[in-house]
Amino acid sequence: MKMQLAEIAAAVDAQNDLGDWASVTVTSVHFDSRQLTAGALFVPLPGEHDGHEFIAGARAHGAVASLWAVSRAAEAPADFPVLLVDDPLTAMQALAKHWLSKINPQVVAITGSNGKTTTKDMTASVLGTEFNVVKTYANYNNEVGVPFTVLSMDANTEVLVVEMGMDRFGQLDFLSKLVQPDVAVITMIGEAHIEFFGTRDKIADAKLEITHGLKDDGRFVFNGDEPLLTDRAENVPNEHVTFGQQSSNHLYPTSIEQDNEFHQTTFKVNAWPDETFKIPLLGDYNVNNALAALTVGQLFHIRTANLVKGLAEVNLTSNRTEWLTGLAGEAILSDIYNANPTAMKDVLTMFGDTPAAGRHVAVLGDMLELGDNADELHASVAEALDPTKIQILYLIGPHMKALADTVADRYTPDQLHYYENDQKAQLTTDLMADLTESDEVMLKASHGEHLETVLNALQNGVTQA
């Protein structure tokens, strides 16, 4: 981006006169004083420490101006341009809306209980074969991350692919109305955040909020295998386009073949019967994510050869069914960013089917925000555990105790290892001593369980609690 402070001040309704600073040029926006670059506008946000306290660091890293809460006007630096606003986050969102209207790209918004990040990556890759595309970085998918993504666009951006997360009613309503998508995508409905919603029905209600800002001529793309979506879609006036495994969908696979050796999947689709698509991932659920991306690509009239190319060459966000190699030579399937019961079962099923010269070892941590039925939902993961396919289990967390108890009759004490949350270092030590180069190990848990410390130890030999 590139804007003078005077334009930014008008967009955010700044309450102070900039004087000679009005012509200062801003080339980026960031809320982390450690990560901004020269020419940035700093956005001080509340957190463990108030962002206003980091203005010195922001200036040292090249910030040329800052938003500033009017309630802290007395603390504002006198020798540095600040824009006084009621709330820096609200001002950042207003600035994002202004920048979006200036650039006017087509917008694809993606949400779902599972698969939204992978679908975002695949969609951006497919569209990127013919358009200048900007996509959500990592998982910057909330009230801070979405405007940050918008403000990261260059002036030549043609398509913006935005991932949207939610953990409460109203969140997707706000985000959708902020970006006003041309295409809204829902990958599926699972149990993520069920603690806050109570039922999958209510999760579906909240997910449908992504259509609230959909342009009048926008299209609604969703998983047509999910009754919770098909029923609610009847109340969305926009054009509907569906994908899924069933032949009743607009796009569905006519064949799927897993290449376990190279960790990839090939499949054919009804719309292109003579074409073979390939993705660098395993699992039918990832075929669904690819179908969502193909659906969007079809809406954008992407040529068939580029649809194939975009999926085959997708640049995937890390720690989502990512294959790595450990110090002992073991293959590691890292899926540690997030977890819910549906996703965990899907990944375990896929993992158990991959060939290994040695053993399949699963390291599973608690799935958070599952509410009063958390133990029952953790125990349900037993459906995907077969000792002939996944021979060793390392489980950690109070809710994983329910799973340990459920599978105790099919796994011997030598196969089943359970740890409390404060025993992560012991789990890591035991796991590292157990693994051989012929083994495959899978790690999955909610991000709040921080299995990245275990992954770091397996890759770099650093053990920590």
Annotated binding-site positions for ATP: 112-118
Cα Rg of the chain (Å, integer): 24
Can you read off the two tokens belonging to residue 137? 């970085």
Q: What is the DSSP string of 170-234?
A: THHHHHHHHH--SEEEE----STTHHHHSSHHHHHHHHGGGGTT--TT-EEEEETT-HHHHHHHT
Can you read off the two tokens belonging to residue 310? 């975009």
282-to-262, 363, 391 alpha-carbon distances in Å: 9, 19, 20
Which residues, 6 or more positions from 110, have their beta carbon under 8 angstroms from its beta carbon? 116, 119, 120, 123, 161, 162, 163, 164, 185, 187, 292
Pairing of strands 264-269, 239-243: unpaired
* Strand segments (E) across 70-189: 82-85, 106-111, 133-135, 159-163, 183-186
Can you read off the two tokens belonging to residue 271? 């719309």
Query: Among 403, 404, 401, 385, which residue's Cα sits nearest to residue 442?
Result: 385
- Alpha carbons 72 and 236: distance in angstroms, whole number: 44
Map tokens 């290892």 to a residue.
417
CB 428 within 8 A of CB 457: yes
* Strand segments (E) across 1-46: 3-4, 25-26, 28-30, 40-42
Can you read off the two tokens belonging to residue 149? 């993504």
CB 427 within 8 A of CB 396: yes
Annotated binding-site members: 112-118
Query: Among 138, 210, 151, 140, which residue's Cα sits nearest to residue 175?
Result: 210
According to DSSP, the residues that pair with 28 across neighbouring strands are 40
Which residues, 6 or more positions from 278, have their beta carbon under 8 angstroms from its beta carbon? 264, 265, 266, 308, 311, 312
Query: Among 218, 207, 205, which residue's Cα sits nearest to residue 179?
Result: 218
CB 385 within 8 A of CB 404: no
CB 87 within 8 A of CB 72: no
Can you read off the two tokens belonging to residue 152? 């990261």
